[in-house]
Amino acid sequence: MTNHSHPLTGKNILVGVGGGIAAYKVCEVVSHLFQLGANLEVILTESAQKFVTPLTFSTLARKPASVDGDFWQPVYERPLHITLGEWADLMVIAPLTANTLGKLVHGLADNLLTNTVLASTCPIIVAPAMNTEMWLQKSVEDNWQKLAQDSRYHLLHTNTGLLACDRIGKGRMAEAKEILSSIESIIVSKGKRDLVGKNILISAGNTREYIDPVRFMGNPATGKMGIALANACYYRGGNVTLVAGNINPELLQLLPPVQIIPVTTAQEMESAMVSNFPQADITYMAAAVADVKPRHYASQKLSKKSLPSSLELEQVNDIVAKLGEMKQSSQKLIGFAAQTGDIITPGKEKLQRKNLDAIVANPIDKDNAGFATDTNEGVWLDRQGEQIMFDRTTKLTLAHKIIDFSLFYLIPNT
C-alpha cells in the first residue's frame, strides 16, 4: 500500500542487517518503508541469518533479500556490490555489531554488506546494539568516536533498558520509530550538517493554567511540531534544547539525545525560554502558550457546587514578544501562529508586533493539519517580505523546510 505523498516514496533505501537479536526490530522498519512507497534492497550478513531468515525480509520488502552467497556468484553483468552501492540513496545498518563497526572504521570489506559500503557514496545511518559490557569497551568506544568523525555516517545512540542477556543497561538498539524518523530526516536534508556549532532553542507542546489542583485551562497542542523541529535540528548537527510543555512521555522517549526541559505553566515556560535564550543562535517558538489564566487559584479541589459560574481572567506574559525585545542582531527568532480562516493577515501582524525574524502560520481548521496531527501545512512569512506556502507534508519534513528557509533567508552565508 503506497503513500505517494510521503517524502520517502520512490527513494532507494538499502537496509543492512547485522547479527544480533535486535534484528527483529528491523522487520518493522522494512515493513513501514515498503508501506511508505520506498524502493528497498536488504542485505543480511551471515550471522544475521541466525536470527532472522532472508525469506522474512524478502516477504516484507516484496523482493529477494541478498546474502553473502549472492556476492560470490559469477558476474554476468555488473558486480552485485557495485550495483547496490550506486543504486542506494541511503543505507541503514541495523543492528550494527561491534565486529561491523570495527570494519567500517578501518575500511575492511570481507562480506557483501561491507563491500557495498565501500562501493557507495550515499549517507549511512548506523544503529548499534550490543551487551552493555561490550558497548563500554574502550576499543568499541574508540571506534564509535572515529566513526562519528566521518560526516557520511549518521549515528543513532543506544537506549537503556532490559537487554537480551537480562541485564538492564545501555546497548539497546534504537526503536523502529526512531530509525524511521532518522531515515526521513537524512533523506529530506540529504545528510546536510549545516547546524553544526549552532545552539537551537525550541518550545513545544502546550501550557496549562490551573483553576484548582485538578482543573485547568489549556489547549490541544501535543508538541509534535516542536518535536519534529528538535529531531530535524539534531540530525543536522545542532545543539538542541527543547522546552517541553505537557508532552506525552512516549513522544519524548523517541527523541534523540537533546536537552529536554519539562514545564507545565506559561510562567514556567517563560522562565525556561528567557534563561536559555541568550545562548541560542536560532529559536523556534512552536509551543501553544496560554493567553490568559484564572485570576484566582484554589489550593484545594473545588466541589462541583462551589465552582464559579464565571472565571475572572488575567493576561499572561507574551513569551515570544519578550524574546523579541531581548533579541540581539546575531540571533534569529521564528514564531508560529495557529489560525483559522485567513492565516496570512494575522501572521504578518504578529511578525511585526513581536519583532520576529519570521513566522510560520498554519491552519487549524483543515483536515490533517494543526494540532495533534502527523502532517501540517502553512505559510512562511519573514521581514524581507517573503511569503512562501508550505504544502501539506509530514511535520518532520516541514521542520526541515522551515530550517532550510531559516538558513537561506535569515542566515544566507551558512
Domain ranges in the chain with CATH number 3.40.50.10300: 199-410
Give percent of the chain with pLDDT exceeding 70: 97
Homologous superfamily of 199-410 in CATH? Answer: CoaB-like (3.40.50.10300)
From the candidates 27, 122, 165, 233, give the one annotated as an active-site residue: 165
Q: What is the pTM of this model?
A: 0.92
**DSSP of 390-405:** EEEEEHHHHHHHHHHH
Which residues, at least 6 apart from 146, have a Cβ–Cβ distance to it below 8 Å?
Answer: 105
Peptide bond into 95 cis (omega under 30): yes
First to last CA, the chain: 39
Going through 340-386 in order, the beta strands assigned E by DSSP cover: 358-363, 375-382
Contacts by 367-376 with C-beta closer than 8 Å and gap 24+?
368/392, 370/338, 371/219, 371/220, 371/221, 371/222, 371/288, 371/338, 372/220, 372/221, 372/222, 372/224, 373/224, 374/224, 376/225
At residue 228, the 3 state secondary structure works out as: helix
**Is the CATH number of domain 12-189 3.40.50.1950?**
yes
Q: pLDDT tens digits for 321-369?
A: 999 999 999 999 999 999 999 999 999 999 999 999 999 999 999 888 8
Q: pLDDT tens digits for 255-309?
A: 999 999 999 999 999 999 999 999 999 999 999 999 999 999 999 999 999 998 8
Q: Mean pLDDT across the chain, nearest whole number?
A: 94
Residue 165 a catalytic site member = yes
Count CA within 13 A, CB hemisphere, residue 176: 12
Q: pLDDT tens digits for 376-405?
A: 999 999 999 999 999 999 999 999 999 999
DSSP at 206: B
At residue 348, the 3 state secondary structure works out as: helix
pLDDT score, position 144: 97
Judged on CB neighbours under 10 Å (0-12, 13-18, 19+), 295 is exposed
Q: pLDDT tens digits for 79-117?
A: 999 999 999 999 999 999 999 999 999 999 999 999 999
pLDDT score, position 3: 47
